[in-house]
Amino acid sequence: MIADKHTIQVKGIGRVSRTPDTIIIWMHVESCDTDYKRAVDSAAQQLNLIRANLGTIGFTKEDLKTTGFDIHARYDNIRQGDNTYKEVFIGYEVRHDLSLFSLRI
């Protein structure tokens, strides 16, 4: 077989070993309550606990970033005795997506 003039062929095996220097942790805080303010306050309290304890595991508040935030009303369909469904309000669901990123591990 004749190789094309514009082709480079490379074969090989390699291995790289290095101590990790970056950490990324993805997490989220969720709460649900029939009262909007309580749902939001509960999520905020959970987030404050995370922020307050970051230093104990070697992170700073600046390492924690919001990657998403959502509040929506949650409903469920409950089957009735006559085989119909009734939509029932479950509560307000709050979700706060977070990432914890650091180059100092």
Instruction: State residue 2 phi and psi, 5-degree precision.
Output: -95, 125
Alpha carbons 75 and 97: distance in angstroms, whole number: 22
pTM above 0.85, yes or no: no
Q: For the chain, list the domains and their CATH numbers.
A: 23-102 (3.30.70.2970)
- 60 or 7: which carries more pLDDT confidence? 60
User: Does residue 3 have a pLDDT over 80?
Assistant: no
Across residues 75-102, what is the average pLDDT?
A: 96
Across residues 70-77, what is the average pLDDT?
A: 98
User: Does residue 29 have a pLDDT over 60?
Assistant: yes
- The answer for residues whose C-beta is within 8 angstroms of residue 16's C-beta and 6 or more apart is none
